[in-house]
Chains A and B, each alone.
Chain A
Amino acid sequence: QLQLQESGPGLVKPSETLSLTCTVSGGSITSSSDYWGWIRQPPGKGLEWIGTVYFTGRTYYNPSLKSRVTISLDTSKNQFSLKLSSITAADTAVYFCARAHYYGSGSDYTGGGLDVWGQGTTVTVSS
């Protein structure tokens, strides 16, 4: 059974870089059927997609964060990571990692919902 687990510091100082890791167990991040992503949720607010990485290393970022975001894979550890630079209080949120799984071909190509999520990790930005 595929499981995802976020890890990283819970408190980050303003202007620093946030680094989070998502460890994948029960499956491989090199699967060609899967995309791996980061989503965040500020306190009391909705969900915001941060970005996604494919097993080839191809990345897709939210333009609102693109200048500050880097998502990468570590295939040797079966992990993917998020770096968010120049952190401010507005980046305080619960950060989730998740998988989007696609299957089928042609007209039967389907899936794509974020079907497996980590439990989330709370990141507070404060000096």
Chain B
Amino acid sequence: DIQMTQSPSTLSASVGDRVTITCRASQSINSWLAWYQQKPGKAPKLLIYKASSLESGVPSRFSGSGSGTEFTLTISSLQPDDFATYYCQQYNTYPWTFGQGTKVEIK
């Protein structure tokens, strides 16, 4: 299985901060990587697919980059609605696997 490792596990930030979350794959996944946002009691929401494509309706402050084994999710200016847990997921190879999650907390 491809292991997906996110860092950090928890991130404390303030409104307006630029935030970056990293996701590393244990082997190349080309660009088949998605990012999700999840709030308590809710289903995950797709933010980014194929590493850097912004899902329709997602604010442009979210962006994704990377290919191969290293990927980043950047929030250019953190908004109150962005405090949540973020997951990366590879879908290059079965079994699809998720990172362990990064919780973005209010500083």
Contacts and interface: CB of A to CB of B under 8 A. Distances in A.
Contact of A63 (B53, B91, B95, B98): B95
Given A52-B96, A100-B91, A47 B44 contact: yes
A119 B45 CA distance: 11
Interface string A85-126: 000000000001010100000000011111101111000000
Contacts of A61: 95
A62 interface: yes
A118 B1 CA distance: 26
Contact of A114 (B32, B42, B46, B50): B46
Contacts of B46: 113-115
A49 B97 CA distance: 6
Nearest to A60: B94
Contact of B44 (A111, A112, A117): A117
Interface residues of B, number: 26
A48 interface: yes
Interface string B85-103: 0010101001111111100
Interface residues of A, number: 24
A1 B75 CA distance: 28
A96 B43 contact: yes
A111 B43 CA distance: 19
Contacts of B91: 100, 112-113
A26 interface: no
Interface of A: 37, 46-49, 52, 60-64, 96, 98, 100, 110-115, 117-120
11 contacts: A49-B95, A52-B96, A63-B1, A98-B43, A112-B49, A113-B46, A113-B49, A113-B50, A113-B91, A114-B36, A117-B44
Given A47-B44, A114-B46, 5 more contacts: A46-B99, A52-B96, A112-B34, A113-B55, A114-B36
